[in-house]
Structure 1
Amino acid sequence: MRSLIDKLSKENYLTQNELEYLLDKMTEEDRDYLIEKAYDVRKKYYGDTVFFRGLIEISNICKCDCFYCGIRKSNKKADRYRLSKEEILDSCHRGYFLGYRTFVFQGGEDSYFTDNILEEIIRELKNQYNDIAITLSLGERGAESFKRLYDAGADRYLLRHETVDEELYNKLHPGMSLENRKKCLESLKSIGYQVGSGFLIGLPGLKLTDYAKDLVYLKKLRPHMVGIGPFIPHEDTPLKAEKGGTAYDTITLLAIIRLLLPDVLLPATTALGTIDPKGREKGFKAGANVIMPNLSPMECRKKYALYNGKVFLGKESAEEKIKIENSVLEAGFQPILTKGDNVRWKRK
Structure 2
Amino acid sequence: MTPAETLINSHRLSREEYAALLIKAEDEGTRELLKTEAVRLRRKYYGNKVFTRGLIEFTNYCKNDCYYCGIRCGNQKAERYRLTEEEILECCREGDKLGFRTFVLQGGEDAWFTDERMEKIIRRIKREFPDCAVTLSIGEKSYESYRKFREAGADRYLLRHETADEEHYRMLHPENMYLSKRKQCLYNLKALGYQTGAGFMVGSPGQTLETLAADLEFLQELKPQMVGIGPFIPHHGTKFANEKAGSVSLTLFLLSIIRIMLPKVLLPATTALGTVDPRGREKGLEAGANVVMPNLSPLRNRKQYDLYDNKICTGDEAAECRTCLARRVASVGYRLADERGDALE
Give yes or no for TM over 0.5. Answer: yes
Aligned counterparts, 1:48-87, within 5 A: 48-87=48-87
Paired amino acid for 2:218: Y
Q: Which runs of 5+ in 2 are unaligned?
A: none
For 2:287 and 2:48, the matched residues in 1 are separated by 12
Paired amino acid for 1:172: L
> What is the SS of the residue equivalent to 2:136?
strand
Ranges of 4+ aligned residues in structure 1 off by more than 3 Å:
314-319
Tell me, yes or no, if the aligned pair for 2:65 and 2:74 is still in contact at 8 Å. yes
Paired amino acid for 1:184: C
For 2:85 and 2:217, the matched residues in 1 are separated by 39
1:221 aligns to 2:212 (yes or no)? no
User: Which residue of structure 1 aligns with residue 157 of structure 2?
Assistant: 157
Aligned counterparts, 1:314-333, within 5 A: 314=315, 317=318, 319-333=320-334
For 1:128 and 1:324, the matched residues in 2 are separated by 26
Q: CA deviation at 1:25?
A: 3.4
For 1:11 and 1:70, the matched residues in 2 are separated by 40
Paired amino acid for 1:9: I
Tell me, yes or no, if the aligned pair for 1:56 and 1:103 is still in contact at 8 Å. yes
User: Which residue of structure 2 aligns with residue 31 of structure 1?
Assistant: 31
Change in Cα spacing, 1:24 to 1:34, as seen in structure 2 (3 Å) is: same
Paired amino acid for 2:78: A
Tell me, yes or no, if the aligned pair for 1:65 and 1:74 is still in contact at 8 Å. yes
> What is the SS of the residue equivalent to 2:66?
coil
Tell me, yes or no, if the aligned pair for 1:123 and 1:152 is still in contact at 8 Å. yes
Q: TM-score, normalised by structure 2?
A: 0.97
Paired amino acid for 2:94: R
Tell me, yes or no, if the aligned pair for 1:24 and 1:209 is still in contact at 8 Å. no
1:186 aligns to 2:187 (yes or no)? yes
> What is the SS of the residue equivalent to 2:58?
strand
Aligned counterparts, 1:139-218, within 5 A: 139-174=139-174, 175-218=176-219
Q: TM-score, normalised by structure 1?
A: 0.96
Amino-acid identity (%):
53
For 1:233 and 1:183, the matched residues in 2 are separated by 28
* 1:137-163 residue CA offsets vs partner (Å, 9 max, x unmatched): 000011000000000000000000000
Tell me, yes or no, if the aligned pair for 1:41 and 1:262 is still in contact at 8 Å. yes
User: Which residue of structure 2 aligns with residue 14 of structure 1?
Assistant: 13
For 1:208 and 1:308, the matched residues in 2 are separated by 25
Tell me, yes or no, if the aligned pair for 1:67 and 1:172 is still in contact at 8 Å. yes
Count of aligned pairs: 343
Q: Give the aligned CA root-mean-square deviation in angstroms.
A: 1.3
For 2:163 and 2:198, the matched residues in 1 are separated by 10
Q: Which one is further off, 201-210 or 180-189?
A: 201-210
For 1:333 and 1:209, the matched residues in 2 are separated by 34
Q: CA deviation at 1:319?
A: 3.6
Q: CA deviation at 1:314?
A: 4.7
User: Which residue of structure 2 aligns with residue 122 of structure 1?
Assistant: 122
Tell me, yes or no, if the aligned pair for 1:42 and 1:258 is still in contact at 8 Å. yes
For 1:337 and 1:305, the matched residues in 2 are separated by 29
For 2:188 and 2:339, the matched residues in 1 are separated by 27
User: Which residue of structure 1 aligns with residue 340 of structure 2?
Assistant: 339
Q: Which one is further off, 74-83 or 27-36?
A: 27-36
Q: CA deviation at 1:318?
A: 5.7
Q: Which runs of 5+ in 1 are unaligned?
A: none
Change in Cα spacing, 1:195 to 1:318, as seen in structure 2 (3 Å) is: closer
* 1:15-51 residue CA offsets vs partner (Å, 9 max, x unmatched): 1111111111351221111111111111111111110
User: Which residue of structure 1 aligns with residue 3 of structure 2?
Assistant: 4
For 2:229 and 2:179, the matched residues in 1 are separated by 17
Tell me, yes or no, if the aligned pair for 2:164 and 2:211 is still in contact at 8 Å. no
For 2:281 and 2:315, the matched residues in 1 are separated by 18
